[in-house]
Amino acid sequence: MSVLNVQNLCVHFDTSDGVIESVKDISFKIEKGQCLGIVGESGSGKSQSFLAAMGLLAKNGSASGAVQLDGQEILNSPISSLNKLRGKDVGMIFQDPLTALTPHLKIGQQMTEVLHVHTSHSRSDARRHCLDWLQRVRIPDAEKRLNQYPHELSGGMRQRVMIAMAMLCSPKLLIADEPTTALDVTVQAEVLDLISELQEEQGTAVALITHDMGVVARMCDYVQVMRLGKFVEEGPVDSVFENPSHEYTQQLLQAMPRIDATHPIKVQSTPNLLLDAKDIKVHFPFKVGGHLFSRSVPLRAVDGVSFTLNEGETLGIVGESGCGKSTLARALIRLIEPTSGDVSWLGKNLTQLDKNAMTQARRDLQIVFQDPFASLDPRMTISDSIAEPLRTFRPELTSRERRELVQDMMNRVGLDASMTNRYPHELSGGQNQRVGIARAMINKPKLIICDEAVSALDVSIQAQILELLKKLQAEFGMSLLFISHDLSVVKEISDRVMVLYLGRIVELGSSTDVCTNPAHPYTQALISAVPIPDPKLERSRERIRLTDELSSPLDPKAFLRFLPSKIDSNEIDYVPKLSEVAPGHFVAEHDNVV
């Protein structure tokens, strides 16, 4: 008997525009110990299918069909019946643990509540059981975490807490809804390994909802590909990946950037230096200690970064959350004032310019942010947003000239002219990202900084945006600083790659050298954690594991994590040197330990 058996499931929503059919007559099964991947892009109906099964639809939603858990019909069951199943027989890991966890309750309180509802554990037994599961999901200082609030934990630790809560009662079914989308690659790999181990140890059936074909290749036994509320292809994961029959499945696989792919090297005959950053530091005062006896210590977000950028070149900047990528980018164009260091732009020192001169310099220095909804003014039409830099830097233009330039740029980035008077909330995430790119491009700058500009997009939209950036770069001859935690994407677009760890460079070189022959242990761990959309290859890879979470930049010993010999000799102020191990390939000093 299947753990979960779904037959002819349909989900409808009543809206002001009429009835919307979100899920259209789908059927599937999940067996004990099996991992089923439900794959598709945003809006395909993946999450709504399982929310409907668990009675978690919005008030305007309704479901029909049949959903059986261990042979028991549960679709549209009374809430009281479903509450006995949810948390006990069915565990669910949501995409964003920060919103799924209750912010004003400590971790221990939230976990023991699950046991109090579904078991007869005493208070002390419940706490011991929760502590045991936090240790099983490899949370450091697990007992301390029980007394902390969600906001005091990192994203990776919050996700591990969600997994522990979902597994407390040894559920028969674990529903993982995009459990790793917002995580760094090393944390993602740890979370996936953990789910896989629990699946084997507990015989738990796993439903993995994702748009990432690399994650499916690593985790799943069987896959269902979903588009516009329907399954368009299904089968064992090996056969679907080796011989995808539906055009949509083929598109998803083709759109996935691969860390093992080879790309032609772009050759510059006469490179012209645009940007020269020397010893950039950004330190923030941070108070530690109690309220009465607190003291200020420097948080070294960026701690001595030097690099150059040539005309027409793309430099990828990678590293995990907290490594200083975005802080460095903002310091370069003085959206954050650097603590020290120099930034030479076309021979002019940006750090010495006054406010007006810096504003004029930003005509050639533009940035595309990660979240277009947060960076676009919701009160302005998209044409007004795109035209805003023209009003600032080219006030001599007439309204008609501005309008013509905006329409031309909208056409270049693939935005239809009919969207001119729409507002950001009326566009998709991919369309809004194109608006952000158009706004950055409108004055044809010499440098654009892309700060996680594609990380929140579906793979097909991401591929379109990357192609668009390449096309516009070739057309305008501009340079790119491309910031991302996804090494596959960085390799796809970059000429050189710079790897940051706690505000310092640990490796710098051509994208081919860094991604194919990484020399630093941290880079090796990052690359080995990137999933490849090939099940057989992915299962045969050996992953290099970091022994713990990213160290704190407040810890004076943190940057010597890969050079413990200096810690042992009490040289905690030692700065690892960058050495050129091959032409143009620089690596920070290390002891070859992870």
Q: Which pLDDT value is given to residue 389?
A: 93
Q: What is the pLDDT of residue 269?
A: 47
Q: Tens of pLDDT along 288-327?
A: 665 666 777 778 889 999 999 999 999 999 988 778 898 9
- The span from the CA of 554 to the CA of 557, in Å, is 9
- In the sheet with 4-15, reading across from the earlier edge strand, the strands are 18-30, 4-15, 61-69, 72-73
The angle subtended at Cα 84 by Cα 79 and Cα 89, nearest 5°, is: 125
Q: Range(s) for CATH 3.40.50.300 in the chain?
A: 4-255, 273-510
**Domain 273-510 sits in CATH 3.40.50.1820:** no
Residue 164: DSSP 8-state:
H
Q: Dihedrals φ, ψ of 185, to 5°? A: -65, -35
Name the residue among 568, 333, 368 with its Cα closest to residue 452: 368
Angle separating helix axes 429-441 and 399-412, nearest 10 degrees: 130
How far, CA to CA in Å, does 406 sit from each of 93, 178, 382, 390, 509?
43, 37, 10, 9, 37
Q: Which residue has the tokens 């074909």?
A: 213
Q: pTM of the entire structure?
A: 0.84
Can you give the pLDDT at residue 431?
A: 84
CB 506 within 8 A of CB 588: yes
**Look-up: residue for tokens 């000429």?**
495
Q: What pLDDT was estimated at residue 265?
A: 59
Predicted pLDDT of residue 552: 67
Q: What are phi and psi of 482, to 5 degrees?
A: -110, 110
Q: Coil, strand or helix: which one is 395?
A: coil
For the chain (length 594 residues), average pLDDT per consecutive 10?
A: 92 85 94 93 87 90 93 90 88 81 92 89 90 83 88 79 87 88 78 84 90 90 94 95 94 88 61 92 79 74 93 92 88 93 92 90 88 83 93 92 92 85 82 88 91 79 85 88 89 94 94 93 92 90 71 74 84 87 94 68
Query: Residues 107-129: pLDDT tens digits?
Result: 999 999 999 888 888 888 999 99
223: left (phi over 0), alpha (psi -120 to 50) or beta: beta
Which CATH architecture best describes the domain 4-255?
Answer: 3-Layer(aba) Sandwich (3.40)
Asked if 94 and 162 touch (Cβ cutoff 8 Å), the reply is: yes
Instruction: Work out whether strand 365-368 and strand 273-288 pair parallel, antiparallel, or are unpaired.
Output: unpaired
